[in-house]
Amino acid sequence: MPIRNEERHLRAAVERVIDQHYPGDLEVVLAVAPSEDRTADIAAELAAADPRIVVVDNPAGHTPVGLNLAIARAAHDIIVRVDGHGELSRDYIATAVRLLEETGAGNVGGLMDARGTGPLSEAIAAAYNSRFGLGGGGFHLADTPAGPADTVFLGVFRRSALADVGGFDETLQRAQDWELNYRLRTAGHLVYFSPALRVAYRPRDSFGALARQFYRTGQWRREVARRHPETLSLRYLAPPVAVSAMGAGIVGGIVGLVLRNRLLTGLFIVPLTYLLFQGVATATMTGLSPAARLRLPAVLATMHIAWGLGFLVGVRSEDRG
């Protein structure tokens, strides 16, 4: 479990691992990055209270570095990837181990079940769990059937499969899970999705944190595409294309108004089409409180625009490692 600034959710995340209905030996390895809250103190308290909990230091602070440090310290042949703001379903590990045995997969994983705790995080969770938000990524949708997958949320790995591909790429600050699963598949290991594996995920709870998260994700997804161009798809190109088109439509429309050019003014149709898309999404998503529905258009715009801008800008060469 790589953790940083997880004061609010860490205890619950660890408790969900410790309380698993799993008959075998179990340990929790916490890779603690430099934090701005009490994450390190809470991790130390948890380890002092339970010998199955181990703390390792992750001074670099990056997620893939912490994951590799934790894997190196782990004592067992099955590695369960957990987040500090995720809570495993009760039989998650037992089900995953059974699926590893039944399928022969190198990695099995399941559903990212985003759950909000207030109006804003509820809207963000709804966007995560919808095709309108993240474009239909399989592990975000409850109706995705079990079977081979390009990638899964988190994952339960055979240690031998991780060793075969060299573990997580420490030069990738984001998108390292997707890239690892790509290398596993390329090396001949099955990546298997099952909706029976469910993780309650606590999303960001501010527009600023959401924008930063998606901007950096867009940056690093472009870096993965630069390294593995064969992995590009329309789904990943949609946000940067939409951002570019909306920017051109707004600028062109304004110029058209100034010059009284009807053709250029007509470019306003592009951002207006996106507004229509938001309206349809907001109206058709179910199970939202009125306060969350009110925030949903801004949430969708933040996710799409931040991701698209990040992809267009990309990662600075000095940050590539």
Task: Report pLDDT digits (tens) over 215-259.
Answer: 999 999 999 999 999 888 887 888 999 999 999 999 999 999 999
**Number of helices followed by number of strands (H, E) in the chain:** 13, 9
As a whole number of angstroms, the distance between CA 240 and CA 307 comes to 7
Q: Do the strands 28-32 and 53-57 form a parallel or antiparallel pair, or are they unpaired?
A: parallel
Instruction: Report domain extents, the chain.
Output: 2-205, 229-319
At which residue do the structure tokens 């938000």 appear? 133
pTM here? 0.86
Whole-angstrom Cα distance, residue 65 to residue 171?
9
CA 270/CA 279 separation, integer angstroms: 14
Round to whole Å and give the CA distance between 127 and 182. 25
Mean pLDDT of 312-318: 87
CATH label, 2-205, candidates 3.30.1330.60, 2.60.40.10, 3.90.550.10, 3.40.640.10: 3.90.550.10
Please tell me the least confidently modeled range out of 167-176, 260-269, 288-297, 311-320: 311-320
Q: In what order do the strands lie in the sheet with 2-3?
A: 2-3, 28-32, 53-57
CA proximity to 44, closest of 33, 34, 59, 54: 54
If you average pLDDT over every residue of the chain, what do you get? Answer: 92
CA distances from 190 to 98, 108, 159, 184, 186 (A): 15, 8, 14, 7, 9
Tokens of 26: 């179990």
pLDDT digits (tens, 9 = 90+) for 7-47: 988 998 899 999 998 988 999 999 999 999 999 999 999 99
Comparing CA positions, the residue from 173, 150, 149 lying closest to residue 223 is 173
Mean pLDDT score, 56-71 = 96
Band of pLDDT at residue 144, cut at 50, 70 and 90: confident
Q: At residue 136, does pLDDT exceed 60?
A: no
CA quadruple 207, 315, 34, 140: dihedral sign: positive
Query: Looking up tokens 């994450």, which residue turns up?
Result: 39
pLDDT of residue 227: 92
Q: Are 176 and 211 in contact (CB under 8 A)?
A: no
Q: How far apart are CA 91 and CA 69, in angstroms?
A: 26
Q: What is the pLDDT of residue 161?
A: 97
Q: What would the pLDDT profile of 248-291 be if each residue is shown by its tens digit?
A: 999 999 999 999 999 999 999 999 999 999 999 999 988 899 99
pLDDT of residue 25: 92
Spell out where the chain has E strands.
2-3, 28-32, 53-57, 78-80, 86-88, 107-114, 147-148, 153-158, 191-201
Q: Inform me whether the pLDDT recorded for 91 exceeds 80.
A: yes
Considering only 65-69, 127-131, 242-246, 248-252, which range has the smallest mean pLDDT?
127-131
Contact 148, 191 (CB under 8 A): yes
Dist CA 168 CA 180 (whole Å): 6
Q: By C-alpha distance, which of 138, 21, 159 is closest to 88?
A: 21
Strand partners, 110: 153
Is 135 a residue whose pLDDT tops 70?
Answer: no
State how far the Cα of 112 lies from the Cα of 109, in Å rounded to an integer: 9
Q: How would residue 142 be classed by pLDDT, with cut points 50, 70 and 90? A: low
3-state secondary structure of 234: helix
Q: CA-CA distance, 151 to 185, in Å (whole number)?
A: 9
Binning pLDDT at 50, 70 and 90, where does residue 99 land? very high
Q: What is the pLDDT of residue 213?
A: 93
The Cα–Cα gap between 312 and 234 comes to: 15
pLDDT of 232: 83
Question: Which band of pLDDT confidence, cut at 50, 70 and 90, is reported for residue 205?
Answer: confident
For the ranges 63-67, 149-153, 186-190, the lowest mean pLDDT is seen at 149-153
User: Can you give the pLDDT at residue 61?
Assistant: 93
